Amino acid sequence: MADLLIELRSEELPVSMIAPALDALASGLRGLLEGVEAGADRRFSTPRRLCVVIEGLAEGRPVVERMVTGPPLQAARRDGAWTRAAEGFARGRGIPVDALEIVDGPKGQVVGARIQEGGEKTADLVAQGLEAVVLGLPFRKSMRWGSGKARWGRPLHQIVAVYDGRLIETEVAGVPTTDAVVGHRRATLGPARVRGADDYVAALRERKVIADRDARRALIRDGVHALAAERGVAASIDDALLDEVTDLVEWPVPLVGRFEPDLLELPARLLEESMRVHQRYFPSRKDGRLHNLFFPVSNNPDGDAALIADGNARVIAARFHDAKFFYAEDRKLTLEQHGAGLAKMRWVRGLGTMADKQERVAGLAQQLAAPLGAGLVAAYEAGALCKADLLSQMVGEFPKLQGHMGHLYALHEGRDPAVALAIEEHYLPRYAGDDLPESPAGQAVALADRLDTLAGCFGIGLVPKGSADPQGLRRAANGVIAILLGHGHRLPLLQLIDAALTGFESSDGSKVELRRERADVRMQLLTFVVERLRATLHAAGHATDIVEAVLSAGGDDVVQLRARVEALTERSRDGHFKPLMITFKRVMNITRGHDSAAYDPAVFEHDAERDLASQVEALADTVGAQVDALDAASALERLAGLKGAVDRFFDDVLVMAEDPAQRATRLGLLCAVSGLFATVADFSCISTE
């Protein structure tokens, strides 16, 4: 057993390309060496290199002998000599005809050839297949370099290929393999020959490269925190920025920079956004407030730290002074004045301008205000200004500050704080797991914005297909569901959809009209949103059949639907659940195709019929009320109490009686039972395997 080490050294790869390419390299090498006994793999990466080490790799594939059967004996041998059929079979298997054997087959004796497979050497497999693996790595964008035709994420400079301490000689895209690694661009030591992973890591560290990504990440995190602690501040290190910086450097050197304290008069989020996104600096805080110290990370192992930090400070100061100018200019105009230009900004082709959308959002937010507990005026005003800051200079320079700048400008104008907060919150949630809008007005505008987007796009046929969703409609539907579930708002989906569609049907000469029939749009949109709810419930860990059972039973109150799923999931952990489901499914299966729940007690012949009818009537109002009160667990408990009566009914009563009146009333009684079940779920969807 020995180790295989493959390193690909290139120009700096974009951060987003590194992890997928490294994963693909590891899986590609595993595929290339399929059948070769191997241990675990170790992975190393920097902006300029991808490295995979497969440990405990056997010398080659094992040799396997197997018998391959050919033509029947009577066709392969005549008069004691092999026929042409036998000779052709032997030739096809690469053996002399005299090596053929006669073996028993399922239909008599046949000719067989004993052949050996495998035995390929590991080094040979790598030499022959490495180029295909390397050039097959997935890159979102690739490029050619030099006079060659090969494409890769960035120009390849060197390939290290070592197995069992020895060089594997081959080439990839004209680049020959080597057993020597090259260090940091600024390293003074020359190439070093390596035999395995430990040599590799040590040789690179001597040459100012920390190949272990986790070690590099820890050095950055700990180094920045240490510098901050020495200066009495706390560094703000978020995982996303830390990961990005880790993949930007080979030899991290945390530094300290500072900007002019008077720039702290600018909005803190603006300053942090600029430092994190544009410059990849770690901000700092003191006593909970943003501080003027920041922490860049250099990739220069021998540079003048003070000079580099000063250069970073000059860069960020210039950007902050620009922002200060934009901020001052923006505040010379009101939000209404900023928003005037929305009439010239097209939203979606066929759906008018951003001004049209903002107007509809305001009206819909006002309709939603009362059930959400928001003030009518605040919800309308926030909706009418929610997109105004898109035309501000600050948002033009820092797009991620949309909503936040509107919030600040609204406060600067002296507007109601509830309106200002709602302008910012209406963009929440931006992604799965993001914060939800907390204020009632913010929730109203957030729902209105997403519902308007869904209604408009579905109304003109812009429906997501496959993975394509250019308008972000899945995200919009997920946002609606998250807000309703997160705050427990029991607003029926069809009611919300109808309200949104009405915004496109104004009789006052509306600039936007939907091209599809309203009835078709509302049902297609309802199905779409319920599908997103299905995905949400699956992601929460609920079984597929339980989710399907609840959604198939109908309903468009997402809070109630979730409560039913949760109750059924909890009940499914009960040891008596399976027998209960078998009984429920028997009822639903026998009544399939029979719609009437009417029955005539005068036709009853058996006590089992009367007992079941009595229990059904006693539960008729209770079960539905419990489900509506989000107490589906109690409703299920009561329904479970029907099991004995239903079982006795099936034992004592012939449902499909010859007498049409008896048959109809018995099926009607079972339909009434089935209807009670359906207040919780369609139990026929639940697996009892």
Q: Is the pLDDT assigned to residue 507 strictly greater than 60?
A: no
Q: Is the pLDDT of residue 44 over 60?
A: yes
pLDDT digits (tens, 9 = 90+) for 361-419: 999 999 999 999 999 999 999 999 999 999 999 999 999 999 999 999 999 999 999 99
Q: Residue 509's pLDDT is what? A: 46
Q: What is the mean pLDDT of residues 472-486?
A: 97
CA–CA separation, 138 vs 20, rounded Å?
7
Query: With 70 as the cut, is the pLDDT of residue 42 above it?
Result: yes
Q: Which fold has domain 2-60+121-206?
A: Alpha-Beta Plaits (3.30.70)
Residues 468-474, mean pLDDT to the nearest whole number: 92
Where do the CATH 1.10.730 domains begin and end in the chain? 575-685
- Separation CA 485–CA 408 (nearest Å): 29
| Distance, CA of 26 to CA of 327 (rounded, Å) | 49
Q: Which residue has the tokens 């309106």?
A: 419
Phi, psi of 202 (to 5 degrees): -65, -45
Do residues 145 and 108 lie in contact, with contact meaning Cβ atoms separated by under 8 Å? Answer: no
Mean pLDDT value across residues 31-57 = 95
Q: What are phi and psi of 391, to 5 degrees?
A: -100, 10
Helices H / strands E in the chain, number of each:
26, 20
Q: Cis omega before residue 429 (within 30°)?
A: yes
What is the pLDDT, as a whole number, of residue 147? 82
What pLDDT, on a 0 to 100 scale, did the predictor assign at position 64? 82
Q: Identify whether the C-beta of residue 28 lies closer than 8 Å to the C-beta of residue 137.
A: yes
Class of residue 483 by CB neighbours under 10 A (exposed 0-12, middle 13-18, buried 19+)? buried
pLDDT, one tens digit per residue, over 81-112 is 888 888 898 888 888 988 888 888 888 888 88
pLDDT at 511: 59
| Residue whose pair of structure tokens reads 């509506």 in the numeric block | 628
pLDDT digits (tens, 9 = 90+) for 655-685: 888 888 988 989 899 999 988 988 999 988 8
Q: Tell me, what's the pLDDT at 508?
A: 52
pLDDT tens-digit readout, 54-80 = 999 999 988 888 888 888 888 888 888
663 phi/psi in degrees, rounded to 5: -60, -45
Dihedral (CA of 92, 94, 99, 101) sign? negative
Q: Model confidence over 171-217: pLDDT tens digits?
A: 999 999 999 999 999 888 999 999 989 999 999 999 999 999 999 99
Residue 421, token pair as written in the block: 């907060």
Q: Residue 510: which pLDDT band, with cuts at 50, 70 and 90?
A: low
N residues, the chain: 689
The pLDDT of residue 468: 87
The partner residues of 143 in beta bridges, in order of sequence, read 152
446/387 Cα distance (integer angstroms): 12
Domain with CATH 3.30.70 in the chain: 2-60+121-206
pLDDT digits 0-9 by tens, 262-303: 999 999 999 998 999 889 999 999 999 999 999 999 999 988
Question: pTM of this prediction?
Answer: 0.81
Least reliable range by pLDDT among 13-27, 75-89, 426-440, 608-622: 75-89
User: In 10 A of CB 183, how many CB atoms?
Assistant: 21
Cα dihedral 21, 23, 24, 30, rounded to 10, equals: 150
Q: Confirm or reject CATH 1.10.3470 for domain 575-685, answering yes or no.
A: no
pLDDT at 110: 87
Which backbone phi and psi does 81 adopt, to 5 degrees?
-125, 150
Please report where in the chains the tokens 């020995």 appear, as a residue. 2
Q: Rounded CA gap, 428 and 473, in Å?
A: 15
pLDDT score for 475:
96
**What is d(CA 314, CA 324) in angstroms, rounded to the nearest whole number?**
15
Query: So what's the pLDDT on residue 75?
Result: 82
Question: Residue 71 has what pLDDT?
Answer: 87
Determine the pLDDT at residue 591: 85
Per-chain mean pLDDT for the chain: 92
- Contact status, residue 56 vs residue 3, Cβ threshold 8 Å: yes
Helix (H) or strand (E) holding 51: strand 49-57
